[in-house]
């Protein structure tokens, strides 16, 4: 079984208080902020490792970003992935989720075929949850988001997902794209010896030119239909209202308040 | 920092994650219930952290001392006492066997120690004083093919929890001129005659299981010695003293943690609409002064570990790092308690235990004065 895991390099959450949004470009100023593997992508790597341990196979991690992202891919290799590919090219810079998913799907096509493509459900910085399902669309594969379990029955992938009224099980024919929820597993701690061995594992940096059928109208800024809106500060105020009455009456008041907030 | 690279950043990240997930809950039980963190030490082994510097052929990672120091620094940010136990379970015991053990001892002891399966302890101090070896009473007499050990040790860390102890005992009259007369023995904890006494209720390093061990006609094979008969100073000088440098990253991690916690507190403690940090110049001066001392200590620590990588004799530097680091940690944690006000003295604030542990560092594993006196011998 060949599994690809898409990972994103994001600013370290420990430094969120130091991140500034550029008021002109409306992008995050990341200079001086250390980067880490996006938290939910780590759960996707862990899911891939568990599938590999159970069914055998190989794990390839794929990312897009500046050359420094090699560091996060090395970390993924230390976690247990076998091979890594980084698409790093100014042409793909400034991409929104659509352009990112297109570029990643081209890397998947070039380095595949894969039986399964895994990803974290959302990134800690963008948090759109767009990319996994968009990769599925570009590649013509079935996709599922927010999976709470993933397994294989020999032919198909079986995944579960929680809804308001219960849990649903999905059977996805291979190949497919599954985005995992952070509650899917507990990410194992990294072994020191695996870190030292990670530098010997293959990590290939690709440019746009390495992806021959890449249509440049779909990549980078020009391939990104998303436009940033105006920035404004959210006012944060605190107030306290004391509710009086019986348990039933106050419960009804709280219910009405919540409904009111949801409407607003 | 000149010593950092991609691989070392990953080691720091992995050790930090381990410290947050495993050391933090273990440290709470160490402080509140005096519980020895056996499971967390085992996991350190499973993750390859105990054998970082041990050769790959012995089951280690074959990494260098800076990588090892970075791991110790990270776990010591959460608990100075845990940092000590990680050091004891790795360099202090495994390093001793790797450098001075026979091939049989290496085969039998190291792999199980590296994996965290087996735990070792060192028995040195006696009631007469750690440096007063002339009056040590624990002795070993050769009886046929066996040594017979009698006597007792105090303030032994890993007391009652280790599987094997490396015990220093008199094998002939101690000669202060040649330093001969003491021998290192390998004594399994389940050997008949090994008895465990009182576990001390110390001011710091809680949960380290530090107590008394007695040897009552303990019989061990003739070849169960480390190094040569009558020459315990050789393993001490070759393996133990240089790796006193481990106190460097231990102290460093703890002082960094205390300083960071205090900086966070000062910037978020608002009085009359202004943070303590913004309101008081004297506080800013205190903090930057500590920052400078910590930064200089950090450079000294990793410079010494790089010297060890290059095979230089760092015994004197190691003792200096232990002494200077313990003093600096005591100063930083004391100052940071003051900057927190009354809440700094409260256990839950998480500052005061570093102050108590710092004091342990000034006397544990050889007091500052004893070690500085030894240093005179090494330097001059």
What confidence category does residue A227 fall into, taking pLDDT thresholds of 50, 70 and 90? confident
Mutate to test the interface with A, among B11, B12, B14 (most CBs of A within 10 A): B14
Nearest CA in chain B to A198: B7
Q: What is the mean pLDDT of residues B154-177?
A: 94
Residue A262 predicted with pLDDT over 90: no
Within this chain, domains B6-118 and B121-230 share the same CATH topology: no
Contact B11 A74 (CB under 8 A): no
Answer whether A195 touches B (CB < 8 Å). yes
Tell me which H or E stretch contains A37.
strand A35-37
Q: What is the mean pLDDT of residues B84-108?
A: 93
How many structural domains comprise chain A?
Answer: 1
Residue with tokens 């940090």: B277
A42 inside domain: yes
Q: What's the confidence (pLDDT) of residue A181?
A: 95
Residue B65 predicted with pLDDT over 80: yes
A237 inside domain: no
What confidence category does residue A232 fall into, taking pLDDT thresholds of 50, 70 and 90? confident
A147 inside domain: yes
Mutate to test the interface with B, among A74, A86, A193 (most CBs of B within 10 A): A193
Kindly report the CATH number assigned to the domain that includes residue A36.
3.40.50.620
CA dihedral B85, B88, B90, B95 (to 10 degrees): 170
Residue A110 predicted with pLDDT over 70: yes
Across A216-230, A243-257, B199-213, least confident range: A216-230
Mean pLDDT, chain A, rounded, equals: 91
Nearest CA in chain A to B6: A71
CA–CA dist B6, B254 (Å, integer): 24
* Facing residue for B52 by CB, picked from A70, A192, A199: A192
Mutate to test the interface with A, among B5, B6, B10 (most CBs of A within 10 A): B10
* Facing residue for B6 by CB, picked from A36, A71, A194: A71
Residue B295 predicted with pLDDT over 80: yes
Q: What's the confidence (pLDDT) of residue A171?
A: 95
B47: chain A residues, CB-CB within 8 Å: 189-192
Residues facing residue B318 across a β-bridge = none
Residue A52 predicted with pLDDT over 70: yes
Residue B238 predicted with pLDDT over 90: no
Residue B122 predicted with pLDDT over 80: yes
Residue A234 predicted with pLDDT over 80: no
Q: What's the confidence (pLDDT) of residue A170?
A: 95
Q: β-strands A156-163, A83-87: how paired?
A: unpaired
Q: What is the mean pLDDT of residues A31-40?
A: 89
Q: What's the confidence (pLDDT) of residue B345?
A: 96
B63: chain A residues, CB-CB within 8 Å: 192, 196
CA–CA dist B324, B317 (Å, integer): 10
What confidence category does residue A113 fall into, taking pLDDT thresholds of 50, 70 and 90? very high
Between residues A14 and B5, the one the model is more confident about: B5
**CATH code for the part of the protein at B241-379:** 1.20.140.10
Across A15-19, A103-107, B26-30, least confident range: A15-19
A254 inside domain: no
Residue B67 predicted with pLDDT over 90: yes
Residue B3 and residue B302 in contact, taking contact as beta carbons nearer than 8 Å: yes
Contact A36 B6 (CB under 8 A): no
Domain positions in chain B: 6-118, 121-230, 241-379
Range from A18-22, A163-167, B157-161 that averages highest in pLDDT: B157-161
The residue segments making up the domain with residue A13 are 2-218
A236 inside domain: no
Nearest CA in chain A to B5: A71
| Class of the CATH-defined domain B121-230 | mainly beta
Contact A74 B6 (CB under 8 A): yes
- Per cent of chain A over pLDDT 70 is 100
What distance in Å separates residue B200's CA from the closest CA in chain A? 34
What confidence category does residue A264 fall into, taking pLDDT thresholds of 50, 70 and 90? low
Contact A189 B9 (CB under 8 A): no
A30 inside domain: yes
Nearest to B50 by CA among B58, B302, A42: B58
Q: What's the confidence (pLDDT) of residue B329?
A: 97
Q: Give the pLDDT confidence of B324-339 residue by residue, as tens digits.
A: 999 999 999 999 999 9
A223 inside domain: no
Nearest CA in chain B to A199: B7
Using CA of residue B287, residue B293, residue B299, residue B301, what is the dihedral sign? Answer: negative
Q: What's the confidence (pLDDT) of residue A167?
A: 93
Between residues B375 and A55, the one the model is more confident about: A55
Answer whether A198 touches B (CB < 8 Å). yes
A194 inside domain: yes
* Facing residue for A196 by CB, picked from B13, B17, B61: B61
Q: What's the confidence (pLDDT) of residue A150?
A: 96
Task: Provide DSSP, B293-317.
Answer: HHHHHHHHHHHHHHHHHTT---HHH
**CATH code for the part of the protein at B6-118:** 1.10.540.10
B43: chain A residues, CB-CB within 8 Å: 189
């Amino acid at each position: 079984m060949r599994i690809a895991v898409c990972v994103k390099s994001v600013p370290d959450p420990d430094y969120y208080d130091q991140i500034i949004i550029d008021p002109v470009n409306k992008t995050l100023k990341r200079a001086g902020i250390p980067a880490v593997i996006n938290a939910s992508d780590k759960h996707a790597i862990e899911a891939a490792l568990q599938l590999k341990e159970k069914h055998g196979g190989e794990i390839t991690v794929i990312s897009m970003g500046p050359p420094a992202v090699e560091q996060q891919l090395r970390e993924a290799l230390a976690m247990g992935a076998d091979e890594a590919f980084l698409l790093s090219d100014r042409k793909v810079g400034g991409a929104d989720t659509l352009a990112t998913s297109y570029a990643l799907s081209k890397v998947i096509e070039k380095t595949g075929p894969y039986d399964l493509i895994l990803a974290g459900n959302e990134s800690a910085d963008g948090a759109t949850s767009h990319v996994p399902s968009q990769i599925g669309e570009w590649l013509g594969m079935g996709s599922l988001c927010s999976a709470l379990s993933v397994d294989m029955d020999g032919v198909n992938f079986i995944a579960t997902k929680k809804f308001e009224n219960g849990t649903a099980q999905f059977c996805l024919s291979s190949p497919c794209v599954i985005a995992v929820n952070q509650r899917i597993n507990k990410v194992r701690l990294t072994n020191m010896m695996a870190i030292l061995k990670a530098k010997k594992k293959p990590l290939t940096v690709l440019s746009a030119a390495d992806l021959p059928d890449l249509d440049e109208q779909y990549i980078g800024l020009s391939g990104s239909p998303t436009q940033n809106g105006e920035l404004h500060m959210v006012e944060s105020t605190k107030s306290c209202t004391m509710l009086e009455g019986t348990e039933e009456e106050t419960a009804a008041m709280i219910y009405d308040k919540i409904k009111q907030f949801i409407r607003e | 920092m000149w010593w950092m690279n991609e691989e070392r950043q990953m080691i720091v990240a992995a050790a930090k994650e381990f410290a947050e997930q495993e050391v933090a809950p273990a440290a709470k039980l160490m402080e509140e219930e005096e519980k020895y963190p056996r499971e967390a030490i085992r996991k350190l082994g499973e993750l390859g952290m105990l054998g970082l510097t041990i050769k790959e052929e012995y089951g280690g990672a074959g990494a260098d001392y800076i990588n090892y120091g970075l791991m110790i620094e990270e776990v010591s940010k959460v608990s100075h006492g845990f940092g000590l136990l990680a050091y004891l379970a790795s360099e202090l015991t495994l390093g001793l066997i790797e450098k001075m053990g026979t091939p049989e001892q290496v085969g039998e002891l190291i792999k199980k120690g590296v994996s965290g399966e087996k735990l070792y302890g060192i028995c040195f101090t006696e009631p007469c004083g750690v440096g007063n070896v002339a009056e040590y009473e624990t002795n070993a007499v050769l009886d046929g093919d066996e040594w017979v050990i009698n006597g007792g040790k105090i303030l032994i860390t890993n007391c009652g929890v280790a599987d094997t102890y490396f015990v220093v005992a008199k094998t002939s009259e101690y000669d202060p001129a040649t330093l001969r007369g003491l021998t290192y023995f390998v004594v399994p904890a389940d050997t008949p005659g090994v008895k465990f006494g009182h576990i001390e209720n110390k001011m710091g390093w809680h949960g380290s299981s530090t107590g008394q061990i007695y040897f009552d006609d303990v019989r061990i094979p003739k070849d169960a010695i480390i190094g040569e008969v009558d020459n315990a100073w050789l393993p001490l000088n070759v393996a133990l003293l240089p790796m006193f440098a481990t106190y460097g990253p231990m102290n460093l991690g703890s002082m960094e943690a205390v300083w960071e916690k205090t900086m966070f507190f000062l910037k978020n403690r608002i009085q009359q609409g202004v943070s303590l940090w913004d309101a008081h110049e004297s506080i800013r001066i205190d903090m930057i002064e500590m920052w400078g001392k910590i930064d200089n200590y950090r450079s000294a620590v990793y410079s010494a570990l790089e010297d060890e990588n290059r095979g230089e004799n760092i015994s004197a530097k190691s003792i200096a790092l232990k002494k200077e680091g313990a003093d600096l940690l005591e100063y930083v944690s004391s100052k940071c308690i003051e900057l927190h006000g009354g809440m700094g003295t409260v256990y839950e604030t998480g500052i005061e235990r570093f102050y108590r542990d710092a004091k342990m560092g000034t006397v544990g594993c050889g007091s500052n004065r004893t070690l500085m006196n030894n240093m005179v011998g090494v330097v001059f």
